[in-house]
Structure 1
Amino acid sequence: MYLDVRSDWLSYVDEVPRALVATNTVANLKALEQSPRHAHQKAQLVFTLRGIINCEVEDAVWVVPPQCAVWIPGGLPHTVFGSGVVECISLFIEPPEAPSLPDKCCTITVSGLLRHLLMRANEMPERYDVDGPDGRIVSVIFDELAVAPIEDLRLPIPSDPRLKKLTDLLIAAPADRASVAEWASRVALSERSLSRMLAEEVGMSFGRWRRQLHVVLALRHLSTGQTVQAVAMDLGYESASGFVTMFRKMVGKPPARYLSERPGPAPRDHDGG
């Protein structure tokens, strides 16, 4: 089953009379790339076990490395795609049963306890006994989700056509170190107009927005086993140390440490910190 993209499965999940429905999914990049934009009544938590999951909503792309999860509120149109072979658990949650959970799309860190609870939920009967042990596990899952740390693994996508074109140009050539004025001229804007529009639409300066893009791209590549050195060069940094400094400032940890705390391939370059 490909995540949650089959219309018959979506309808079925929404009709299951339980606060939580869990599914385990293994899929490849091609299958997930074919995922159409869709929505469902229940909220969804996608927990990545292996590989990188990306969730795209109208105004942002969320990157979900191993040991993280993305929360998608009910009714929010989205599409989900992966980088390489991925394995994940999807939990479909009835919002009224969990009023303390997020009301916006976000990426959260999954603790060791929450990971075990999610794995246990994946083994529960679909129509579990809400008054028995399984029902109590669901309650604990909701409690843990309500206090789970949120990570800023989001790339805001502007709505203005010129800024969308700029986004495409930056993604196509992440190593291009052109100045803000040069990037602005490529989409027929002045540097001042570009800075003002980015501040209004994504709440970031051009420099921070581009660094956020580099973090998203770096996580995708590092989680497949690429070296820190190779990723740094691909993103246009003069040295691995310069890239590591940027990553640490944006994420709070150097890339090797960040990924070593998660299951799956870690970067193979000692320069990762």
Structure 2
Amino acid sequence: MMQCFDPDAIDVPVCALNLDAAEHTREAPMHNHNRGQLVVALSGGVICRTEKGLWMVPAGSGVWVPGYVRHSNEVTRNGRVVVLFVAPEIAGLPEHCACLNLSPLVIELICRLAENPTALYRSGDHLDRIAQVLLEELRLQQVNDLHLPIPDDPALRFIANALIENPGERLSLAQWASRVAMSERSLSRLVTRQTAMSFGRWRQQLQVIIALRQLSEGASVQNVADNLGYDSVSAFITMFRKLLGQSPARYMNETRRAG
């Protein structure tokens, strides 16, 4: 996505870059850089994948990836994003990957920096003052829970990857246990120990992330429910509301207004 832009070569504390999914590769290969990175979805959505999990952000939110962490970003087909890069010496930002609910002010400040991604501003310059206000505001943004942990355990990584490839798979816990040569009780305990979730909750978390990606691409609630293997739209809506506190339609309407 950013073959011609090296954020580590820009000698300023903060810089930003606009990206359009129609003009760039929708999914970048796994990579890392010295700077921390905040990928902000202006429209559509973004999924960030690291070796430890998945993070999903709809429009109006951003996913923070600290420096040196290997990651890959996938932008939905209709996606438009802006990427903020922060020098590693900047303190006060999350030490781990996180999804952030962003205020309109933060998004506007990032977009302002992205108008000239290679600008070399000095301390006290207009752009430097924008960057300092942006960093102060960024430290105050709320973290949300659109995250799927993917543990290092081979059995759980196998199940996670299988569900990512086929999120409509409806195998029971006992059937998954048989596939990874474990007892149902042992698999249940392993999931809880490694993810702090029950197996059902862990699978629902993945389904919400996949649902948000599909909804961000313009899929209907009916189609998403079908793709995720739900017997009815109402069952899918109930699950979605339980995890995110709103129906899919209302959640997407609010995120689109925010974006």
- TM superposition score normalised by structure 2: 0.91
Where 2:158 maps in the other structure, the secondary structure is: helix
In the alignment, residue 9 of structure 1 is paired with which amino acid? Answer: F
Task: Tell me, yes or no, if the aligned pair for 2:122 and 2:128 is still in contact at 8 Å.
Answer: yes
Task: Tell me, yes or no, if the aligned pair for 1:29 and 1:84 is still in contact at 8 Å.
Answer: no
**Alignment partner of 1:115 is 2:111:** no
**5+ residue gaps in structure 2?**
none
Where 1:32 maps in the other structure, the secondary structure is: coil
Where 2:44 maps in the other structure, the secondary structure is: strand
Distance 2:11 2:223 in 1: 49
**5+ residue gaps in structure 1?**
265-273
Aligned pair partner of 2:134 in 104, 119, 141? 141
Aligned pair partner of 2:5 in 6, 9, 14? 9
Task: Tell me, yes or no, if the aligned pair for 1:198 and 1:205 is still in contact at 8 Å.
Answer: yes
Aligned pair partner of 1:101 in 93, 101, 109? 93
- Between 1:160-169 and 1:41-50, the stretch displaced more is 160-169
User: Which residue is 2:150 aligned to?
Assistant: 157
**Alignment partner of 1:242 is 2:238:** no
User: Which residue is 1:128 aligned to?
Assistant: 121
User: Which residue is 1:50 aligned to?
Assistant: 43
In the alignment, residue 245 of structure 1 is paired with which amino acid? Answer: T
User: Which residue is 2:252 aligned to?
Assistant: 259
In structure 2, the CA distance between the partners of 1:9 and 1:30, relative to structure 1 (3 Å rule), is closer
* Residue-by-residue CA offset, 1:91-117 (whole Å, 9 max, x unaligned): 1111323x1111111111111221221
Distance 2:162 2:21 in 1: 29
In the alignment, residue 245 of structure 2 is paired with which amino acid? Answer: G
User: Which residue is 2:201 aligned to?
Assistant: 208
Superposition deviation, residue 30 in structure 1: 8.0
**Alignment partner of 1:27 is 2:21:** yes
Distance 2:25 2:108 in 1: 27
**Alignment partner of 1:18 is 2:7:** no
Superposition deviation, residue 86 in structure 1: 2.3
Aligned pair partner of 1:217 in 196, 205, 210? 210
When the two chains are superposed, the root-mean-square deviation of aligned CA atoms in Å is 2.1
In structure 2, the CA distance between the partners of 1:30 and 1:166, relative to structure 1 (3 Å rule), is farther
Tell me the percent identity: 41
In structure 2, the CA distance between the partners of 1:81 and 1:109, relative to structure 1 (3 Å rule), is same
Superposition deviation, residue 216 in structure 1: 0.7
Task: Tell me, yes or no, if the aligned pair for 2:78 and 2:217 is still in contact at 8 Å.
Answer: no
User: Which structure exhibits the higher relative contact order, with contacts defined as CA atoms closer than 8 Å and separated by 6 or more residues?
Assistant: 2
Where 2:55 maps in the other structure, the secondary structure is: strand
Task: Tell me, yes or no, if the aligned pair for 1:29 and 1:82 is still in contact at 8 Å.
Answer: no
- TM superposition score normalised by structure 1: 0.87
Task: Tell me, yes or no, if the aligned pair for 2:237 and 2:247 is still in contact at 8 Å.
Answer: yes
In the alignment, residue 5 of structure 2 is paired with which amino acid? Answer: W
Superposition deviation, residue 164 in structure 1: 2.0
Superposition deviation, residue 76 in structure 1: 0.9
Distance 1:86 1:172 in 2: 21
Task: Tell me, yes or no, if the aligned pair for 2:167 and 2:207 is still in contact at 8 Å.
Answer: yes
Distance 1:173 1:41 in 2: 34
